[in-house]
Amino acid sequence: MAEPLRNHYGPEIPRRIASDITQVHPDFLARAFLKETLQDFDSLNLLARGKRIAQCLRNHLPKDYPRALTILMASCPEQRMASSAGNPITSFLYLPHTCFVSEYGLDHFEVSMQAQHHLTRLFTAEFSIRAFLIHHEKRTLQVLKNGPATRINTSDVLSLKAPDPASPGPVACPLSKKIPHPCWSCWNSLRTTPSFMSAAP
């Protein structure tokens, strides 16, 4: 039986995130962030650890969300490193970043959607996109539908599986109960694009 990812998601994760942020924002109080983050950290499951890190990032980054998000995204690489291939926990480094966007970015739609687009190059927006489908259904669907003509790449296409009734997740998406499914038109328009077809298994 494979070892749970949770067992590989220890204190080294928030330490790495703190280090990455400090490189682009020297005023970040890494020691205080880590002290708060690591309280009872071992008792939390994987998703709860991601949310804990996101909550503590909110407490220790600037209070202005767009500025905080700019710093957080500046601490991320442009795309997934080749050295991370075959090591799934490497991409999970960015789970807290998606939690940060879904928890605190709903009132800042444009910058939050741009951040999720960037994060799909590193991890997945599969779960964070749900909050936007729930609270900003029409705007989010429009962004997804216009993906090929704007800035959605293959990884974003895969994140469209988020509201699929068969897709597990911590937040139930009401869209999954609608027939016909609101995302099917997005999916059908995207699945025939060359970038999707070349990446499909």
pLDDT of residue 89: 74
Q: Is the pLDDT of residue 195 over 80?
A: no
Would you say residue 179 lies in a domain?
A: yes
- Please answer whether residues 182 and 171 qualify as being in contact, where contact means their C-beta atoms are separated by less than 8 angstroms: no
Average pLDDT, the chain: 78
3-class DSSP state of 150: coil
Please give the residue that has the higher pLDDT: either 4 or 22.
22
- How far is residue 66's CA from residue 108's CA, in Å, rounded to a whole number? 8
Q: Is the pLDDT of residue 20 over 90?
A: yes
3-class DSSP state of 172: coil
Would you say residue 194 lies in a domain?
A: yes
Q: Do residues 85 and 169 share a domain?
A: no
Would you say residue 91 lies in a domain?
A: yes
Q: Do residues 35 and 110 share a domain?
A: yes
Mean pLDDT of 193-198: 43
Domain count, the chain: 2
Would you say residue 129 lies in a domain?
A: no
- How far is residue 79's CA from residue 57's CA, in Å, rounded to a whole number? 22
Q: Do residues 172 and 108 share a domain?
A: no
Name the token pair of 113: 């959607």
Q: What range defines the domain where residue 98 resides?
A: 1-123
Strand ranges inside 15-146, DSSP E: none
Return the number of other C-beta atoms located less than 10 Å from residue 50's C-beta. Answer: 23
pLDDT of residue 148: 45
Q: Is the pLDDT of residue 74 over 60?
A: yes
Residue-wise pLDDT for 130-166, tens only, equals 899 889 988 988 887 775 433 444 344 444 444 443 3
pLDDT of residue 124: 84
Return the number of other C-beta atoms located less than 10 Å from residue 103's C-beta. Answer: 16
The pTM (predicted TM-score) of the whole model is: 0.77
Helix (H) or strand (E) holding 84: none
